[in-house]
């Protein structure tokens, strides 16, 4: 009788198995190389607040933005050690050199000078400032990973590059070397208990801090559009099965500046699901900026292959220890989705 009961329950147990995918702009970026590693080893307040948020949300796979990169991965490994001490173990990690802080010899931001933070392939005072990383409980198929960070902006199908009456902005020479990704665009195959998953992650440039040429607005638009080019088979290898787009698009569908058609187009793509649609007023909030208020800029968008079991934005109730930690960690809020096989 017990054997029969177990056999009857097996399909239910299999259906209940889920994987939690999250994105979190940690704001773990410092003013110089090595400083983040120092702060992690010291157990600095903001670092430990980020650790607490991740421990509370407990994602199986998490894409981290605004985390400084170093050549030997020391900061990411140290962060993983801190998380392990707090009950969250991520044996699999991925972080390669981002475009942020990657120095060039040209004036890329049009200020008439070279070798400034705006003249790197992506804004940064030093190599790897404000990079990208992925932590996972499950194996990452490193040999199958796709890195789109070297794609030139002008080579993206349908790209719209900035221009003025004088011609390409800031110059034809600058546009000949300008990469599209301000930080990075990666596709990482991950082997989860519910099946293979392609994690598509990125961190787009903010669509502000420029002039009438709208360089940052156009770049943000095309960084978001890169995923449509991949899914349309125009760039790289299109994922053949279930995937999840998780990252900081730096663009709200309704509020603030930017080319809204980019994020609205992605959210409307029938190959994707939006587990947190919000309302026409754009009520869903993942970050609060002092100057412009609440916005939705961080997204976890599973493909139509998945069943969305649950989803949310990690933001504890007021007047709790967890809320205090979340506020001390980052202005951004961790976004998560629980997925099961269809």
User: Domain residue spans in the chain?
Assistant: 18-341
Region 233-260 average pLDDT: 96
pLDDT of residue 16: 60
**Angle at CA 342, nearest 5°, toward 59 and 249?**
45
- Considering only CA atoms, which of 151, 294, 163 is closest in space to residue 223? 151
pLDDT category at 114 given cuts 50, 70, 90 is very high
| 216-219 CB contacts, 8 Å cutoff, 24+ apart | 217/257, 217/258, 217/259, 218/160, 218/161, 218/162, 218/259, 219/153, 219/180, 219/182
- Please state the φ and ψ torsions of residue 25, each to the nearest 5 degrees: -80, 100
Q: Over the stretch 280-333, which tens digit does the pLDDT of each residue have?
A: 554 689 999 988 899 999 999 999 999 999 999 999 887 788 888 899 999 999
Region 246-275 average pLDDT: 96
- Please state the φ and ψ torsions of residue 132, each to the nearest 5 degrees: -130, 145
CATH fold for domain 18-341: Deoxyribonuclease I; Chain A (3.60.10)
Alpha-carbon gap, residue 188 to 39, rounded angstroms = 28
pLDDT category at 14 given cuts 50, 70, 90 is very low
For the chain, the average pLDDT equals 93
- Please state the φ and ψ torsions of residue 181, each to the nearest 5 degrees: -70, 120
Q: Over the stretch 204-236, which tens digit does the pLDDT of each residue have?
A: 999 998 999 999 999 999 999 999 999 999 999
């Amino acid at each position: 009788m017990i054997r029969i009961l177990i056999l009857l329950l097996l399909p239910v147990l299999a259906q209940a198995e889920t994987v939690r995918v999250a994105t979190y702009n940690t704001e773990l970026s410092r003013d110089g190389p090595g400083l983040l590693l120092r702060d992690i080893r010291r157990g600095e307040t903001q670092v430990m607040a980020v650790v607490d948020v991740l421990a509370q949300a407990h994602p199986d796979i998490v894409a981290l933005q605004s985390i400084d990169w170093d050549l030997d991965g020391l900061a990411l490994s140290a962060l993983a050690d801190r998380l392990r001490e707090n009950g969250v173990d991520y044996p699999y990690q991925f972080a390669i050199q981002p475009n942020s802080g990657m120095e060039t010899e040209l004036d890329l931001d049009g200020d008439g000078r070279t070798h400034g933070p705006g003249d790197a392939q992506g804004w940064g005072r030093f190599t790897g400032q404000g990079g990208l990383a992925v932590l996972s409980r499950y194996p990452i198929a490193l040999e199958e990973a796709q890195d789109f960070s070297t794609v030139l902006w002008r080579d993206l199908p349908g790209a719209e590059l900035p221009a003025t009456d004088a011609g390409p902005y800031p110059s034809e020479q600058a546009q000949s070397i300008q990469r599209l990704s301000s930080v990075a665009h990666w596709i990482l195959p991950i082997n989860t208990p519910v099946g293979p998953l392609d994690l598509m992650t990125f961190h787009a440039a903010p669509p502000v801090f420029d002039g009438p040429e709208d360089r940052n607005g156009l770049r943000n638009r095309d960084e978001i559009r890169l995923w449509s080019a991949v899914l349309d088979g125009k760039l790289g290898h299109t994922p053949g099965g279930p995937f999840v787009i998780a990252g900081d698009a730096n663009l709200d569908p309704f509020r603030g500046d930017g080319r809204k058609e980019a994020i609205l187009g992605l959210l409307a793509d029938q190959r994707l699901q939006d587990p947190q649609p919000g309302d026409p007023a754009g009520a869903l909030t993942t970050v609060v900026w002092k100057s412009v208020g609440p916005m939705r800029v961080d997204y976890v968008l599973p493909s139509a292959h998945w069943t969305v079991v649950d989803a949310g934005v990690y933001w504890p109730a007021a007047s709790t220890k967890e809320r205090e930690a979340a506020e001390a960690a980052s202005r951004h809020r961790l976004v998560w989705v629980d997925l099961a096989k269809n």
